[in-house]
Amino acid sequence: MSAFDPAVADVRLRIRERSLPLRAPLGTATGEIRERPVFLVALAGTFAGGESCRGVGEAAPLPPWTEPVGDCRLALEGAADAVAAGAAVDLGGLPPAARHALSLASVDARARRDGVPLSRALAAAGDPPAASVPANATVGDGSVAETVAAADTAVAEGFDCLKCKVGARSVAEDTERLRAVRESVGDDVVIRADANGAWDREAAARAVEAFAAPDVDLAYLEQPVARDDHESLRALRGRGVPVAVDETVNAPDGTDGWPDPIGEYADVAVLKPMAQGGPEATVAAARDLHDRGVDTVVTTTIDAAVARTAAVHVAAAVPGGGERAHGLATGDLLAADVVDGDDDPVPVADGRVAVPTGPGLAGDLFDGVV
Ligand SMILES: O=C(O)CCC(=O)c1ccccc1C(=O)O
Ligand SMILES: [Mg+2]
């Protein structure tokens, strides 16, 4: 009997820790991201029906979206020890990145046993997952010239949606950056901005007013104010720029702190599977949000290829997931990954990612990485 999946016998859990440097630091309003610690986990055992059970998962902890790396390591080591001792592991009691790793390994194993892609296993029964999903390019903080150069490169690569980091400099400078990007890329490209909670209500209101102007034409502004400044989120609605929430709905302590009713506080919810505790929890949250009139955009926390591939399956399975761009073009931000670029099962081509069609995450592609 498995510790965290009652259908699995003789269960074993292997963990491998790595640290993946970014090619260049990603500038955000809360500092630079330079390196990503990741834990790869392999689940092996035997299903009750006698079929072999193999699944791969990943935890890529990143505060404040998830628990710190040390807590994640302890949680995973504790789970592996419990599994080895035949004791129960309560996935719900683990912090989100550790929970993501184990629930991903578990759903990958079940989808591989059933011979269906992870996206199919995650989607609602009568609702086929998207075959491909659009992705936005992620443009870090930088000077006007650097921002325009990054935007132009992304558009030349085929992206028609850009997400620019803002909030690291003044609202006036960010407006200048976005206006210059709009001027350079033209009217057919969707531009989003992400302030990572940098502003108070007054600065955010100035930003919204400036970004609503036709010479910027922002599609949405992500996390303009601090995660728990719910009333400012509500006050910023309906002023010409849709509001997206990220940190507000991706906190390590779960959904308890979400503003309610969420539809009064946000037009769009950015869901990070790594912060939501796994693929299944993320799809469930997206369905709930959809019922409340809030669209979901799925993004990574700059994860390694295992969790990035899982996020692509999740994006394909959420309601309307094939129709809007997701934050899934983060593989190229890494200087090294757990598979070579040539083996990446979810490359971005022309601004889209094809959803892998093999069983589970990507067939047995990741079995060697743990
Ligand atoms: O959404 C994207 O384009 C990529 C993901 C991204 O921006 C991100 C990556 C790591 C940590 C936080 C964030 C964020 O959305 O704030
Ligand atoms: Mg964000």
Q: Which residue has its alpha carbon closest to ligand 1 atom 9?
A: 301
Amino acid 4: pLDDT: 64
Whether the pLDDT of residue 203 is over 90: the answer is yes
pLDDT, residue 52, reads: 92
Q: Tell me the pLDDT of the chain averaged across its residues.
A: 96
How many other C-beta atoms can be found within 10 angstroms of the C-beta atom of residue 214? 7
What sign does the CA torsion over 283, 40, 309, 349 have? positive
What percent of the chain lies above the pLDDT cut of 90?
A: 92
Beta carbon of 326 within 6 Å of any ligand 1 atom? no
Q: Which residue has the higher pLDDT, 266 or 88?
A: 266
Establish whether 222 is an annotated binding residue. yes
Q: Which domains does the chain have, with CATH numbers?
A: 8-115 (3.30.390.10), 132-354 (3.20.20.120)
Q: Identify whether the C-beta of residue 220 lies closer than 8 Å to the C-beta of residue 242.
A: yes
pLDDT for 126: 87
Identify which of 301, 348, 353 to mutate to test ligand 1's pocket (most ligand atoms within 8 A of the CB): 301
For tokens 């995650």, the residue is: 122
Q: How far is CA 232 from CA 15, 225, 302, in A?
A: 42, 7, 28
Answer whether residue 7 shows pLDDT above 80: no
Per-position DSSP letters for 234-285, written without gaps between them: HHHTTSSS-EEESGGG--TTGGGGS-SSGGGT-SEEEE-HHHHTSHHHHHHH
What is the whole-number distance in angstroms between the Cα of residue 326 and the centre of ligand 1?
A: 10
Place of tokens 């325009």: 148
For 197, the token pair is: 């909670």
pLDDT confidence band for 92 (50 / 70 / 90): very high
Q: pTM for the full model?
A: 0.97
301 lines ligand 1 (CB under 6 A): yes
**pLDDT at position 356 over 50:** yes
Q: Is 332 annotated as a binding residue?
A: no
pLDDT (tens digit per residue) in 217-269: 999 999 999 999 999 999 999 999 999 999 999 988 888 889 999 999 999 99
ipTM value: 0.99
Position 331 scores a pLDDT of: 97
* Gap from CA of 124 to ligand 1 centroid (Å): 26
Candidates 36, 38, 245, 330: which one to mutate for ligand 1, based on the most atoms within 8 Å of Cβ? Answer: 330
The CB of 119 under 6 Å from ligand 1? The reply is: no
Coil vs helix vs strand at 120? helix
Q: Is 196 in the pocket of ligand 1 (CB under 6 A)?
A: yes
Taking residues 30-55, report their average pLDDT: 95
Question: What CA–CA distances, in Å, run from 210 to 55, 151, 217, 312, 363?
Answer: 48, 20, 9, 33, 47
pLDDT at 25 exceeding the cut of 60: yes
To test the ligand 1 pocket, which listed residue (299, 303, 353) has its Cβ within 8 A of the most ligand atoms?
299
What pLDDT score was predicted for residue 2?
A: 46
Q: Residue 44 pairs with which residues in a beta bridge?
A: 12, 54
Query: Which amino acid is located at 217 in the chain?
Result: D
Is 17 within any annotated ligand binding site?
Answer: no
151 lines ligand 1 (CB under 6 A): no
Give me the active site residues, please. 165, 272
CB neighbours of residue 255 within 10 Å: 14
CA-based torsion, 104, 110, 115, 119: positive or negative: negative
The Cα–Cα gap between 364 and 45 comes to 15
pLDDT average, residue stretch 164-189? 98
User: What residues contact residue 274 under an 8 Å CB cut-off, 6+ apart?
Assistant: 59, 60, 61, 62, 65, 66, 96, 97, 100, 300, 301, 303, 307
Amino acid at 119: S
Question: Which of 245, 307, 276, 333 minimizes the C-alpha distance to 118?
Answer: 307
- Structure confidence at residue 1 as a pLDDT band (50, 70, 90): very low
Residue 88 has pLDDT above 90, yes or no: no
